[in-house]
Amino acid sequence: MSRHGDISSSADTVGVCVFQYPMPRLHTTEDVIENAKKICDIVKGTKTGLPGMDLIVFPEYSTMGIMYDRQEMFDTACTIPGDLTDMFGAACKEAGVWGVFSLTGEQHEDHPKKNPYNTLVLINDQGEIVQKYRKILPWTPIEGWTPGDTTYVTDGPKGMKVSMIICDDGNYPEIWRDCAMKGAELIIRPQGYMYPAKDQQVQVSKTMAWCNQVYVAVANASGFDGVYTYFGHSAIIGSDGRTLGECGTEDNGIQYAQLSISQIRDARANDQSQNQLFKLTHRGYTGVYANGDGDKGIAECPFDWYKTWVTNPKLAQAMAENVTRKTIGVACCPVAGIPPPNTEEEDELLELTNELNLE
């Protein structure tokens, strides 16, 4: 069974640690390297204290901080693999643990013409990068990262299947379901989340664990970086949506839990009334079977907007704009780097949307 409170792990459990690193404020590549050395020391030290630890997770921005200066962001952007991943790989190999590390940012293929990516790497206990994930849904309008375009599932420690998402990604149910349906048993969510959204972020990770029958490991930042205050509350959540362990707001807090491999696989295979992953694609199987129409339920997607998004993304975008707004800028609250609304453009888009809705 999954459990919390000990320092061990077993052949059936993956020992997972989330480390609540205080948000650094850095400016140069030299600053970043010195900070990365601290993180490497934490990997090795924490393994000494938690001998059962198989995996340690650090928050978003923990390696490089937020570069509020655009030129600093480009100057410190790294390559993957590169010096930073080499350092993290060496630390993981020496400690004999897996690690998740944040790189903000990773140089774009057209660097320096295009903005960097917000990237996570999963490094195994041999020091090898086994998954690289680029944030799909940057926290607009503030974050200027080039968005990634897909999620991944990797065989992690002891064979547990692992996906990674980043911070604001987790506010979209679609990304959790995508990872879970690809086979993820543990979804790792490093974040650099700040007040005032504490209650909502604590809640959403628990809800998504429940809705997708998946373990969730949240590593959030703490402290104040001169701009934002980060609320911490890093947590490890069971696949039934109940919290196994949760930090407060302290700097350098940790939570550690043992996540059972057999337990989650048994639940997915044998649970019935709350087996959301099975029931979604076998809709109404009880009634369908009683009607003599087979024992698989209904497989087809019943949701019109999702069908539209796949077959006609521009129309789906127009539908979203029809219930929200037509421009990325908002006149009542300007944000640097975002153009103000164009009334004429808004009128044209509204007319187009109305035409599309009439077709």
Alpha-carbon distances of 299 from 212, 280, 281, 295, rounded to whole Å: 18, 8, 5, 11
Could you say which of 135, 161, 206, 326 is catalytic? 135
Instruction: Give the whole-angstrom CA distance, residue 327 versus residue 304.
Output: 24
DSSP string computed for 126-181: TS-EEEEEE-SS--TTT--PPP------EE-GGG-EEEE--GGGGG-HHHHHHHHH
Q: Which two tokens stand for residue 59?
A: 């928050």
Strand, helix or coil for residue 268: helix
The yes-or-no answer on residue 60 being catalytic is yes
CA atoms within 13 A on the CB side of 108: 15
Could you say which of 17, 40, 47, 60 is catalytic? 60
Contact in structure between 221 and 191 (CB atoms under 8 Å):
yes
Contact in structure between 53 and 97 (CB atoms under 8 Å):
yes
Q: What is the dihedral of CA 177, 183, 185, 191, to 10 degrees?
A: -50
The yes-or-no answer on residue 78 being catalytic is no
Contact in structure between 83 and 121 (CB atoms under 8 Å):
no
Strand, helix or coil for residue 306: helix
Instruction: Give the whole-angstrom CA distance, residue 19 versus residue 102.
Output: 12
Task: Please name the residues in contact with 321: beta carbons below 8 A apart, sequence gap of 6 or more.
Answer: 349, 353
Of the candidates 86, 82, 100, the residue with the CA atom closest to the CA atom of residue 42? 100
DSSP string computed for 179-227: HHHTT-SEEEEEE--BTT-HHHHHHHHHHHHHHHT-EEEEEE-EEE-SS
Could you say which of 167, 179, 206, 247 is catalytic? 167
Q: How many residues does the chain have?
A: 359
Residue type, 324: T
Q: Which two tokens stand for residue 291?
A: 């009607």
Instruction: Give the whole-angstrom CA distance, residue 161 versus residue 184.
Output: 5
Active site members:
60, 135, 167
